[in-house]
Amino acid sequence: MSQNLEYVYGDVGSTLDLDGGKLTLGGDSYMTSWFNGIVTGGGLLDVYGDLIIGQTSDLSGLSATIDIEQYAVVEAQTLELGSGRIVADGLLLIESASGTLDNNISGSGDVWSTGDTTLSGDNSGFSGS
């Protein structure tokens, strides 16, 4: 299943299950989405706008690929971004989180961290900065 949303707001206690489908956020509007709850499942999370993953988020059950398109921004206030691959053609901003990010990262965008972050995945497919 495939769904396109301009934005989504997942509050504390909410659950978003991708269930093997594709969820496209932002489309042409580049609006900001927020996740503060649980995000789980496989498939594809395709981000065209901005996505803020709050400190209270639980993505431990997420096995989907997170695809950050060119000009999109994913601000992660936690290092728990699931077990899926991250394609960073836009900006992955790890905000105020220190520790290890285990995801494999590819793409040609930017990965920035404001904390002491170690990237431990296979990042050989990443050619950005």
- Classify residue 118 as exposed, middle or buried by CB count within 10 Å of its CB (0-12, 13-18, 19+): exposed
**pLDDT (tens digit per residue) in 38-82:** 999 999 999 999 999 999 999 999 999 999 999 999 999 989 899
Structure tokens at 12: 């504390």
Residue ranges of the alpha helices (H) in 8-112?
A: none
**CA 29, CA 94: separation in Å to the nearest integer?**
23
**CA 121, CA 101: separation in Å to the nearest integer?**
7
Exposure pattern of 28-59 as b/e (b: 16+ CB <10 Å)? eeebebbbbbbbbbbbbbbbbbbbbbbeebbb
**pLDDT (tens digit per residue) in 76-124:** 998 989 999 999 999 999 997 789 999 999 999 999 999 899 999 999 9
**CA 34, CA 50: separation in Å to the nearest integer?**
9
The domain locations on the chain are 2-115
**CA 122, CA 105: separation in Å to the nearest integer?**
7
User: What pLDDT, on the 0 to 100 scale, is given for residue 37?
Assistant: 96
User: What pLDDT, on the 0 to 100 scale, is given for residue 98?
Assistant: 83
pTM: 0.94
User: What pLDDT, on the 0 to 100 scale, is given for residue 29?
Assistant: 67
Beta-sheet pairing, 110-113 with 9-10: unpaired
Q: 22 with 48: CB under 8 angstroms?
A: no
